[in-house]
């Protein structure tokens, strides 16, 4: 780790003005950034810790949505009675992130701001049609996730929360990378009031994406059988020592069928 300046602002405004400084970076739970800094692969001059900013932690349920503050940990989402009742798939997803230590430090805001292509939350955001709130505006998930570790966040913009519309049914199935336990393939299926969405994380070389052929097939009948024998094209899928593109394409089909089955059984 290199030396850096450290700030703990007590308001969003103060955080944003500090973020305008040169080479500054926000730290939330720190479970991606700090290990990278320890390995000297990242070297921000200034760290702005959001831990003391009020109103960023918490889960609010309204009749149609669940809103989660950016600094809410994965553990809190996994254990939340509101989330479990309203969107059980989201609580289950949170419970599958990392290990207990990660879940008790890592946050939803940190996860969506980093947009790791193998992270779990982006799949839930895209499938459920979540709205990402920042200190400046609100963005749809389609607008927000723009590529590998890329988001629509502009300079000085800070994620403050994520709002998930409550679906009729949803489920998440994750095939873990055998070593890192990130998603090798994660498929989030949501039967929403207006449509059906299937979002895939871990597999796409451009990050999270929607599998539209599956959505169409499920539109006719929301059943695992509708996806029988289907898998997306392997073009544009990642290939590494743990899984080549063909295997990932196959697993997307398997995980999607399992997720649909699980959702249908709810």
Partner 1 sequence: MTATGIGASVRRKEDQRFITGKGRYVDDYNRPGQAYAYFLRSPHAHAEIRGIDKAAAAAMPGVVAILTGEDLAADKVGGLICGWMIHSKDGTPMKAGAHPALAQGKVRYVGDHVAVVIAETLAQAKDAAEAITVDYDLLPAVVETAKAAGASTVVHDVAPDNTVFNWHLGNQADVEAAFARAAHVTKLDIVNNRLVPNPIEPRAAVGEYDEAEEAFTLYTTSQNPHVARLVLSAFIGIAPENKLRVVAPDVGGGFGSKIFIYAEETVCVWAAKKVGRPVKWTSDRTEAFLCDAHGRDHVTHAELATDEGGKILALKVHTIANLGAYLSTFSSSVPTYLYAPLLSGQYNIPAIYCEVDGVYTNTAPVDAYRGAGRPEATFVIERLVEVAARELNQDPAKFRRKNYIKSFPHQTPVIMMYDGGDYSASLDKALEIADHKGFARRRRESARNGKLRGIGFSSYIEACGIAPSQAVGSLGAGVGLWESAEVRVNPTGSIEVLTGSHSHGQGHETTFAQLVSDRLGVPIESVTIVHGDTDKVQFGMGTYGSRSGAVGMSAIAKAIDKVVAKGRKVAAYALEAGEDDIEFKDGRFSVAGTDRSLAFGEVALQAYVAHKFSGAQLEPGLKEGAFYDPTNFTFPAGMHICELEVDPDTGVVTIEKFTAVDDFGNVINPMIVEGQVHGGIAQGVGQALFEGALYDSDGQLVTASFMDYRMPRAEDLPSFEVGMTVTPCPSNPLGIKGCGEAGAIAAPAAVMNALTDALGHESIAMPATPLAVWRAAQGSPHLRPEAAE
- What is the contact surface with partner 1 in residues (CB under 8 A)? 1-3, 39-40, 175, 178-180, 241-244, 247, 250-251, 254
Residues 170 and 189 sit within 8 Å (Cβ to Cβ): yes
For the bound state, the minimum distance from the C-beta of residue 56 to partner 1, rounded and expressed in Å, comes to 29
Beta-ladder partners of 82:
none
For the bound state, the minimum distance from the C-beta of residue 219 to partner 1, rounded and expressed in Å, comes to 24
DSSP annotation of 50 reads G
Instruction: Report how far residue 42's alpha carbon sits from residue 1's, in angstroms, rounded to the nearest whole number.
Output: 8
Q: Which C-beta is closer to partner 1: that of 6 or that of 13?
A: 6
Q: Which C-beta is closer to partner 1: that of 113 or that of 243?
A: 243
For the bound state, the minimum distance from the C-beta of residue 266 to partner 1, rounded and expressed in Å, comes to 22
- Residue 181: both structure tokens together: 């336990």
Instruction: Report how far residue 134's alpha carbon sits from residue 123's, in angstroms, rounded to the nearest whole number.
Output: 19
Q: Which C-beta is closer to partner 1: that of 27 or that of 251?
A: 251
Q: Which C-beta is closer to partner 1: that of 234 or that of 254?
A: 254
CB burial readout 138-159, b (16+ within 10 A) else e: ebebeebbeeeeebebeebbbb
For the bound state, the minimum distance from the C-beta of residue 1 to partner 1, rounded and expressed in Å, comes to 7
Instruction: Report how far residue 123's alpha carbon sits from residue 149's, in angstroms, rounded to the nearest whole number.
Output: 14
For the bound state, the minimum distance from the C-beta of residue 254 to partner 1, rounded and expressed in Å, comes to 5
Q: Which C-beta is closer to partner 1: that of 46 or that of 177?
A: 177
């Amino acid at each position: 780790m290199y030396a850096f300046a450290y700030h703990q602002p007590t308001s969003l405004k103060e955080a944003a003005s500090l973020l305008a400084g040169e080479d500054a970076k926000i730290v939330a739970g720190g479970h991606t950034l700090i290990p990278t800094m320890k390995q000297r692969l990242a070297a921000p001059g200034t760290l702005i810790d959001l831990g003391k900013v009020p109103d960023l932690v918490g889960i609010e349920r309204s009749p149609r949505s669940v809103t989660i503050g950016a600094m809410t940990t994965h553990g809190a989402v996994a254990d939340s009675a509101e989330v479990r009742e309203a969107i059980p798939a989201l609580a289950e997803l949170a419970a599958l992130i990392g290990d207990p230590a990660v879940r008790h430090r890592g946050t939803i805001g940190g996860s969506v701001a980093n947009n790791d292509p193998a992270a779990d939350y982006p799949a839930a955001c895209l499938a459920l049609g979540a709205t990402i709130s920042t200190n400046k505006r609100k963005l749809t998930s389609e607008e927000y996730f723009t590529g590998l570790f890329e988001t629509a966040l502009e300079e000085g913009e800070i994620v403050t929360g994520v709002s998930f519309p409550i679906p009729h049914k949803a489920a998440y199935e994750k095939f873990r990378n055998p070593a890192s336990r990130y998603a090798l393939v994660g498929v989030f299926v949501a039967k929403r009031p207006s449509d059906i969405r299937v979002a895939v994380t871990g597999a796409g070389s451009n990050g999270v994406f929607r599998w539209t052929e599956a959505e169409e097939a499920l539109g006719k009948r929301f059943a695992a059988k509708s996806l029988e024998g289907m898998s997306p094209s392997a073009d544009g899928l990642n290939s590494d020592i743990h899984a080549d593109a063909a295997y990932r394409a196959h697993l997307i089909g398997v995980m999607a069928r399992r997720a649909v089955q699980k959702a249908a059984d709810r």
